[in-house]
Chain A
Amino acid sequence: MANLKEIRSRITSVSSTKQITSAMKMVSAAKLKRAQDAITQLRPYSEKLTEIIQNISANVELEDNIYAKPSLGKNILIVSISSNRGLCGGFNSQLLKVVDSFVKEKDQPSVNVTVLSAGKKSYDFFKKTEYNIKGNVLPKNANHIVNGTSFEENADIADQIIDAFLKNEFDEIYISYNKFKNAAVQIPTIEKLLPVELGEENINETKGNTQQELDYIFEPSKEDILNHLIPLALRTQFYKAFIDSNAAEHGSRMTAMHKATDNASELIKDLKLTYNKARQAAITNEILEIVAGAEALNG
């Protein structure tokens, strides 16, 4: 049995770890709340925007739109959103696994796959590979926009990406992030950002459930409005991925820290038991020695 002092110092160290993890859990819970608020805030904006776009695109030929040009599939960009910090369970590894297999799947001799990392963890993962971003069209990474930044900063990067697409630097752009489902569940997701696809089903859906059969005046023309709106929608989609990932990160960290705190409590309980057993054994031993000594004297 380990000696008393050793166990005591272990108890102290585990308790202080527990304090840290439970504090981190609290912090994440508060940040999660804020991140969720941001998602709720964005919803009316993005819903209305989608509605208007579908409304317009229902009557417009999309084929010659610059944002919908058919892809040659030669230069592919993947924006991979991870977190800047660790200690958040499987948050980064599960995403990077998905991104990595996606990259490998796309990677053929005739295809250039590039990864733009947003978040230190993703950057660290990809910087040693051949996929990491080269050239000077886009920044090397977008780590600074990961944690709950404003829409403007975010839109900046989005604009640069859209620009790169319009200049034919990339034919296809994907965005990968952890979708926030609830505090315990994050779903690694890969979405196509460009070229724009407006699915038939979506259009039919809006037609079915809204009163939008009104005869709108379009100012300027429908095509011009669409060209004006698609970047807005892309920026929104981009921003949404980031705030989703942010909420997912805090949710994940909260769950991880909760588990760590529980484990620490369990460990402390076990250690206390061992400690008390050792203490009792020591006392029993001492008494035994005294009694034996007294017995020897009497004898």
Chain B
Amino acid sequence: MVLEIIAPDKNVYSGTVNYIELPGINGLFGVLKDHAPLISALGKGSILITEEGGKELSFDIKGGVVEISNNKAVILAD
């Protein structure tokens, strides 16, 4: 699944990942491949991703929104 994390002043991340854990405003949730189309608001917390090679990365955000469709996730983060 392709992931892009975009902040207003820079592109934070773009790459292929296996798993994303997101801080939704109603609690943490994880996203795997072939997830149904989703738009969700994000709260304060950290995004945890597992890249294809198994490497794990995390990003702290203050809030934002995520859109998932056709195995493409776009996170707009503050």
Give A residues with C-beta under 8 Å from B: 38, 41-42, 44-46, 48-49, 52, 55-56, 150-151, 155, 212, 214-220, 224-225, 228-229, 232, 236, 239
**Which of A45, A55, A218, A232: most chain B CB closer than 10 A?**
A45
23 contacts between A and B (CB under 8 A): A41-B8, A44-B6, A45-B8, A45-B76, A48-B76, A52-B67, A151-B9, A214-B69, A217-B36, A217-B38, A217-B40, A218-B40, A219-B24, A219-B26, A219-B29, A220-B40, A220-B41, A225-B39, A228-B25, A228-B63, A232-B64, A232-B76, A236-B8
Question: Which A residues are in CB contact (< 8 Å) with B40?
Answer: 217-220, 225
CB of A52 within 8 A of CB of B39, answer yes
Besides A48-B76, A212-B69, 10 new A-B residue pairs in contact (Cβ under 8 A), listed by A number: A46-B8, A49-B65, A55-B39, A151-B7, A216-B37, A217-B36, A217-B39, A219-B40, A225-B40, A228-B41
Given known pairs A220-B25, A225-B65, A232-B63, the reply for A45 and B6 (CB within 8 Å) is yes
Q: Bound state CA distance, A220 and B26, in angstroms?
A: 7
Closest to B7 in A: A45
Q: What is the minimal beta-carbon distance from B28 to any residue of chain A, in angstroms?
A: 12
Question: Which A residues are in CB contact (< 8 Å) with B74?
Answer: 48
CB of B6 within 8 A of CB of A48, answer yes
Q: Bound state CA distance, A215 and B68, in angstroms?
A: 11
> Which listed residue, A52, A56, A215, A239, touches B8 by the CB 8 Å rule?
A239
CB of A150 within 8 A of CB of B69, answer no
Q: Bound state CA distance, A52 and B41, in angstroms?
A: 11
Closest to A53 in B: B65
The answer to whether B58 has its CB under 8 Å from any CB of chain A is no
Closest to A215 in B: B37
Question: Which A residues are in CB contact (< 8 Å) with B26?
Answer: 219-220
Per-position contact with A for B37-75: 1 when CB-CB < 8 Å, else 0? 111110000000000000000000001110101100010
CB of A42 within 8 A of CB of B8, answer yes
Question: Which A residues are in CB contact (< 8 Å) with B67?
Answer: 48, 52
Q: Bound state CA distance, A46 and B6, in angstroms?
A: 10
Q: What is the minimal beta-carbon distance from B32 to any residue of chain A, in angstroms?
A: 14
Question: Which A residues are in CB contact (< 8 Å) with B39?
Answer: 52, 55-56, 216-219, 225
Within 8 A of A (CB), among B2-39: 6-11, 24-26, 29, 36-39
3 tightest A-B CB contacts, nearest first? A219-B40, A228-B41, A214-B37
Q: What is the minimal beta-carbon distance from A58 to any residue of chain B, in angstroms?
A: 12
Q: Bound state CA distance, A220 and B42, in angstroms?
A: 10
Q: Bound state CA distance, A239 and B29, in angstroms?
A: 30
Q: Bound state CA distance, A216 and B29, in angstroms?
A: 16
Question: Which B residues are in CB contact (< 8 Å) with A44?
Answer: 6, 11
Question: Which A residues are in CB contact (< 8 Å) with B64?
Answer: 232
Given known pairs A41-B11, A219-B24, the reply for A224 and B41 (CB within 8 Å) is yes
CB of B6 within 8 A of CB of A216, answer no
Closest to B69 in A: A214
Q: Bound state CA distance, A225 and B26, in angstroms?
A: 11
Closest to A38 in B: B9
